[in-house]
Structure 1
């Protein structure tokens, strides 16, 4: 994912986050139960955190290209789609299949954060060499 693609993903994800959050609060809350609303709320929280992380990676990639940040953003984006998307789908459809997708998205998040850590540690080492 180039920094441009990362910015685009973050913008679309942020837009959908706000739109679906408002729709959930004003429309879905009237027809869904507390369990379904909790799933949606969790999906929105994770989408928000990871959208901001992808935005931050895009900013970092503007300054220095990093294969670690590239793959981190790919896994964070995939995690957002799978984790949050499966929770939204579960709340709206009650198809139990989605409970098997959610942990895959969570694993993608973990991989993305780990790759970000490696990229950050490698930036530190490069900066130390130039001082």
Structure 2
């Protein structure tokens, strides 16, 4: 589906930009632990950007509700997991860190759904 490819492009761009910002713009402004948290957010965003691309390419060939839902779970995971870590690492507000596991679960659900759809269609 074209939408997941576009979301992949946007998230790929953002992951690179946010990675560079974390390495250069935040250095010396937040703790080393917070920088490590920021880097984890970037890493997970980029991995799941690739998942968005795979999902979009597969949806172009196979129409699957499970695969479609997997794509939305990957996108939700990026927002909830990486987004909460970006905010937490720069503000220190622990409430945001409590959102992170919800994003992790969204990632896991996305992978399960994608795996099931692949086993069904390929």
Common fold: TM-score over 0.5: yes
Q: What is the aligned partner in structure 2 of residue 34 from structure 1?
A: 32
Superposed CA offset, 1:53-90 (max 9, x none): 11011111111221111000000100011000000000
Query: Structure 1, unaligned stretches of length 5 or more?
Result: 125-131
2:9 corresponds, among 11, 30, 36, to: 11
Q: How many residues are paired up?
A: 122
Query: Structure 2, unaligned stretches of length 5 or more?
Result: none
Q: What is the aligned partner in structure 1 of residue 70 from structure 2?
A: 72
- Cα distance, 1:30 vs. partner? 2.4
Q: What is the aligned partner in structure 1 of residue 49 from structure 2?
A: 51
- Cα distance, 1:117 vs. partner? 1.0
In structure 2, how many angstroms separate the alpha carbons of the residues matched to 1:99 and 1:19?
A: 22
Q: Is the radius of gyration larger for structure 1 or structure 2?
A: 1
Work out whether residues 62 and 121 of structure 2, in 8 Å CA contact, stay in contact via their aligned partners in 1: no
